[in-house]
Amino acid sequence: MSDIAGRITEISGWVVRARANVPLALREVVLVGTERLIGEVIALDRAEATIQVYEETEGVAPGDPLFATGDPLSIELGPGLLGGIFDGMQRPLRSLADAEGDFIGRGAQMPSLDREKLWDFIPEVEAGREVHEGDVLGRVLETPVLAHPIAVPPGISGKLAWIASAGPRRIMDAIARLDDGRELTMLQKWRARVRRPVREHLVPDAPLITGQRVLDTFFPLVRGGTAAMPGGFGTGKTVTQHQLCRWAEADVIIFVGCGERGNEITQLIDELPRLVDPRTKRLLAERSILIANTSNMPVSAREASLFTGVTIGEYYRDLGYDVLLLADSLSRWAEALREISGRLGEMPAEEGYPPYLSSALAAFFERAGSVVTLSGGHGSLTIIGAISPPAGDLTEPVTRHAARFVRTFWTLDRQLAGARVFPAVSTRSSYSEVPPGVTSWWSENVSPEWAATRDGALRFLEEASLIEETARLVGVDSLPERERYLLQLSSAFQEGFLQQDAYDASDACCAPARQMTLLETFMRARSEGLEQIGKGAPVSTDFAALQRMKTEPPS
């Protein structure tokens, strides 16, 4: 790795060409220049290799050395990921700050996982046994809320010649040996761009409750499913995502800040350690991982960050956990693809994006799933991709292509956001497939009336929005009493159900049963009100009470 493998011949921004004197592989990680900047081979021809460098290349000159590593971009997997903050190529940002200071310098290399930390390893199998890929050898308590099974890496099986006794171990220490002499450690490496194997893919069918009324009730997410969340700037995308991180009922949360704002990531870094998980009463940091590649960090690392996140997600899925990954945002990631493609002089497709935008998005979303793991357990990886469509235009390529690969589509609406109705999820242009498993979950756990009530509410909202259009033309006062009433009720519904205040402790998370109670109350008010109007009686609906209900303790 210290031998010079070639010479740099050309530098144009972070695209570098080099003439190698050893065979390089496509997607191999190489080190560029005397500062050993990290790069990845993205094209090869007989004469030269094209390399995207993950760091600023200022000062690199033709003639500078190139070093080969022989390895593709790989992610370190093992105890120590939880609570971590990594950049797009999994460099540990906290340790980097301790070593390098407040600004991220160049050429800094540091192992992703702490090599010295001791974990209390407890073996669960005995020597002499036959073990296969995915089999659990033992476990460590990674954090107080999450036990981390130590499994045989994919592709490995054999007879266990020796296993370590219970006691403190470092991640590079051997914890088991097979009879062919191979040693296993707690650290696994996996190629970021390759999906991890499972025994079987299941059809995602169970709801992933988020505590957000408009999402759970109307546009539910499923465990192992995929969602896209397009929203122009100022539509509350960030707050909505933070809410999902806090309240979604997943075991492990991975947030990939991909080309977004530094201060936003800092807010997450500040808040996550202090947030208390409502169910375990423990800190959220004990089961979350942040990938932070802000907009001013190198573009190539931004492109890699999604795959870094998803590989870690698959790893915890394979350990039998329900993982939720949020990527913010796919637009910034697609722009990274576009920048790289542009620098390579590739022929662009629509709006300058490369023709492979769609297949790249598919490669990302298809790594979600509900699975039977190699060891026969169950795990899931749910992916939510936020999209920042330019000019809020939902017909732009990233939104359009993402829509083809997701089952849940949450559109954030600028008009709702303008009126400060958050989460600004449009009930008209959002949609979600509701698999039978979701309906039966609600009817078994909450109320058998769920599906009927929800459908009724959706019809009511649709009717109200048609009335609103009419009202815009003829004025509210020209409407018949029934229509006026529905309009008034729908505005109370917007205020009292759809709008959910992330900063109000009593409203930030709404349990499914409570969602159903609120929904039923509104729908009952509707039938009663319409009945009274039908009879010519005065309407008794107390709109103010309906609006306040969500923040009042349930009676």
Q: Between residue 350 and residue 389, which ones bind other proteins under the rule CB under 8 A?
A: 351-352, 388
Per CB under 8 A, does 269 bind other proteins? yes
Site for other proteins in 319-348 (CB under 8 A): 331-332, 335-336, 338-339, 341-342, 345-346, 348
Sole binder of other proteins in the list 2, 180, 395, 473 (CB under 8 A): 473
Cβ 555 to other proteins, closest distance in Å?
Answer: 18
Sole binder of other proteins in the list 78, 204, 207, 392 (CB under 8 A): 392
Sole binder of other proteins in the list 180, 181, 391, 538 (CB under 8 A): 391
DSSP bridge pairs for 256: 291, 327
Per DSSP, helices labelled H in 391-449 are 397-405, 414-418, 436-445
Site for other proteins in 529-548 (CB under 8 A): 544, 547
Q: What letter would DSSP give residue 287?
A: G
Give per-residue burial for 241-257: e unless 16+ CB within 10 Å, then b: bbbbbbbbebbbbbbbb
**CB nearer to other proteins: pick between 271 and 286:** 271
**CB nearer to other proteins: pick between 379 and 392:** 392
Q: Which long-range contacts (CB under 8 A, 24 or more apart) does 112-118 make?
A: 112/75, 112/76, 112/84, 112/86, 113/76, 113/78, 113/79, 113/80, 113/81, 113/171, 113/187, 114/80, 114/171, 115/170, 115/171, 115/172, 116/170, 117/79, 117/80, 117/170, 117/171, 118/168, 118/169, 118/170
Per CB under 8 A, does 51 bind other proteins? no
Side chain identity at 97, as an amino acid letter?
A: A
Whether the upstream peptide bond of residue 423 has omega within 30° of 0, thus cis, is: yes
Helix (H) or strand (E) holding 383: strand 378-387
Per CB under 8 A, does 393 bind other proteins? yes
Per CB under 8 A, does 10 bind other proteins? yes
Per CB under 8 A, does 9 bind other proteins? yes
Site for other proteins in 154-193 (CB under 8 A): none
**By rule CB under 8 A, what string of x and - marks binding of each residue 89-108 to other proteins?**
----xx-xx--xxxxxxx--
Site for other proteins in 474-503 (CB under 8 A): 474-478, 495, 503
Query: What residues have CB less than 8 Å from 362, skipping those under 6 apart?
Result: 404, 405
Cβ 263 to other proteins, closest distance in Å?
Answer: 6
Sole binder of other proteins in the list 4, 26, 59, 167 (CB under 8 A): 59
Per CB under 8 A, does 234 bind other proteins? yes
Per CB under 8 A, does 266 bind other proteins? yes
Q: What letter would DSSP give residue 463?
A: H
Cβ 67 to other proteins, closest distance in Å?
Answer: 17
By CB neighbour count within 10 A (0-12 exposed, 13-18 middle, 19+ buried), where does 180 fall?
exposed
Per CB under 8 A, does 11 bind other proteins? yes
**CB nearer to other proteins: pick between 97 and 513:** 97
